[in-house]
Amino acid sequence: MSDSYLLPNDRVLRYSFRERLMHWVAGLSYLYLLISGLAFWSPWLFGLSAITGGPTISRILHPWVGLIFTFGVLWMYGVWSKQMRSTPRDKEWWRSVRHYIRNEDGQVPDEERFNAGQKLLFWGFFWCGIVLLLTGLVLWVPNWIPWSLRFLRLIAIILHPIAALLTIGLFMIHVYMGTAVERGAFGSVIRGDVSRKWAARYHRLWYEQILRQSATKE
Amino acid sequence: MSLANLEVRRISGHAATVPGAGLKRDLEVAKLVDTTTCIGCKACEVACMEWNGLTYSDTTFQNSYQTMPETTFNFWNLIKFNEYEPEDGGNLMLLMRKDQCMHCEEPGCLIACPSDGAIVQYANGIVDFQQDECIGCGYCITGCPFNIPKLSPQSQKVFKCTLCVDRVSEGLEPACIKACPTGCLHFGTKDEMKELGETRAKQLREQSGFAHAGVYDPSGVGGTHVLYVLHDATNPEAYGGLPRNPHVPWTVWLWKKPLKWIGNLALAGGLIGMFVHYLRFGPKTVEEDHEEPKEGKQP
């Protein structure tokens, strides 16, 4: 975890500038895709396209922003995929997820830099992102798909919304956890740092590792 | 085209009720195309371009009389030619079918369209695109079982046969019908056209030796407002790829019906669930702790 280290005033750097930047490249592009995509999803939400530039502009920009989002997701994959690997500890975490949900964090196993829920978010977005990219390319230029390859369009038109809905589920939990529930988490992805207490509470193994690293340095 | 003169039955991507639905009495109209008396003169192709003011574009040689491989955004009416050798060793037949929008009763394009009011179905059965409202997404291209809607590369809007809705709403027959020199094209109410077609099919069966002659009015899309009389109704594919059992693609149906409701309930449920969770459990806080490794720092 070379991206993390101790800071003055009992703070710990949780996310480096590079990590924060790539998070927001993916996050803001996803927000655009979400709003414009929901407009195309249901007549009841069609009015949302006014936020993203009007219906026609939304249709034109949605695929391009999708490419930016893909870039963000692949960047994250490059930086985080190793840290996101599943460990036996994650299974224990899932077994006690009930306590995590009820804010009984004392009964939740200590976690490394990312807990099992965050790993699910990462891999969910990664694999859904791949599906969204491939089906999105087909939906981008339906008029280029010849009649003989029509099945591609028919597959894309059902897989794209399914994958999108799965990411929306993950996204809602992610935003709720990151802003409302886990106080301090949002600041960590904006300014990069968290308090030592926060680090010890939510990602103790990671925090202890940083302490060891800084001890050996000194 | 004109929303003013015709009663609207259905509107694409429309959340509220259809204005004025059921207000007036409208007869359902239909075209009848008798492929057995078509001579392939293409007068209908020309009349379509003339009346609708479509631009000319290069045609491609197809090794046959056919003008181009398929209809395009500015060529809505295409005679499809097929040199057909019957499997039972009968005479070679030159099959000619006027291809255009079928104006389905259950239109896959309208069902797939996300844009409010871009596709309307009038009470008389005509399915019409309103390019003002079209966003160019191309979902209609995927929804159509007949390969009809085509995107214009210039305007990025989708175009197709309007069944000359502007003429029909003024009490005129479509331009293609007007131009047909053999009388193989007919226009009238759906009931009349169906009856006329069945009469002709009966004649073909009884007097011309076409035992399988029949009318093409596929039930998979709820029937169409363009009907064909075929020499062999059991083999529509021979007529330039007329689908045997066209229907709204099942993935489109799955997407627009069950998935949409499951998805919407899940989204609403998720939002409500999070709100209730917050009321019940509130935020996780680290202020009052929970032991923490002391680093020798005192307040």
**Tell me, what amino acid is at B186?**
H
A103-113 mean pLDDT = 88
- Residues A40, B114 contacting (CB under 8 angstroms): yes
On the CB side of B91, CA atoms within 13 Å amount to: 6
Contacts with A150 from chain B: Cβ below 8 Å: 142, 147
Share the mean pLDDT of chain A: 93
Closest partner residue to A181 among B151, B254, B284, by Cβ? B284
Q: Is A195 left (phi over 0), alpha (psi -120 to 50) or beta?
A: beta
Chain B contact for A50 (CB, 8 A cutoff): no
Could A55 and B135 be called an inter-chain contact, meaning their C-beta atoms sit closer than 8 Å? yes
pLDDT at position B298: 45
**Residue A96 corresponds to which tokens in the numbers above?**
């006690």
What Cα–Cα distance (Å) separates residue A67 from each residue in A22, A24, A104, B191? 14, 14, 40, 51
Query: Which residues are CB-contacts of A148 (< 8 A; sequence separation ≥ 6)?
Result: none
Distance from CA of A19 to the nearest CA of B (A): 24
Q: Is A107 on the interface with B (CB under 8 A)?
A: no
Tell me, what's the pLDDT at B287?
Answer: 63
Contact of B251 with A155, CB cutoff 8 Å: yes
* pLDDT at res. A74: 97
CA separation for the pair A18, A26 (Å, rounded):
12
Q: In angstroms, rounded to a whole number, what is the distance separating the alpha carbons of residues B181 and A104?
A: 84
A105·B284 Cβ contact <8 A: yes
Helix (H, G, I), strand (E, B) or coil at A212: helix
SS3 label, residue B11: strand
- pTM (2 decimals)? 0.90
Nearest CB neighbour to A183, from listed B13, B278, B284: B284
Q: Is the ipTM, as predicted for this complex, more than 0.85?
A: yes
| Most distant pair of Cα atoms in chain A: their distance | 68
Tens-digit pLDDT profile for chain B (299 aa)? 455 567 888 999 988 888 877 777 778 999 999 999 999 999 999 999 999 999 988 888 878 889 999 999 999 999 999 999 988 778 899 999 999 999 999 999 999 999 999 999 999 999 999 999 999 999 999 999 999 999 999 999 999 999 999 999 989 999 999 999 999 999 999 999 999 999 999 999 999 999 999 999 999 999 999 999 999 999 999 999 999 999 999 999 999 999 999 999 999 999 999 999 999 999 988 764 444 454 544 44
Cβ(A201)–Cβ(B289) under 8 Å?
yes
Rounded Cα distance between B171 and B296, Å, is: 93
With a CB cutoff of 8 Å and minimum separation 6, the contacts of B203 are none
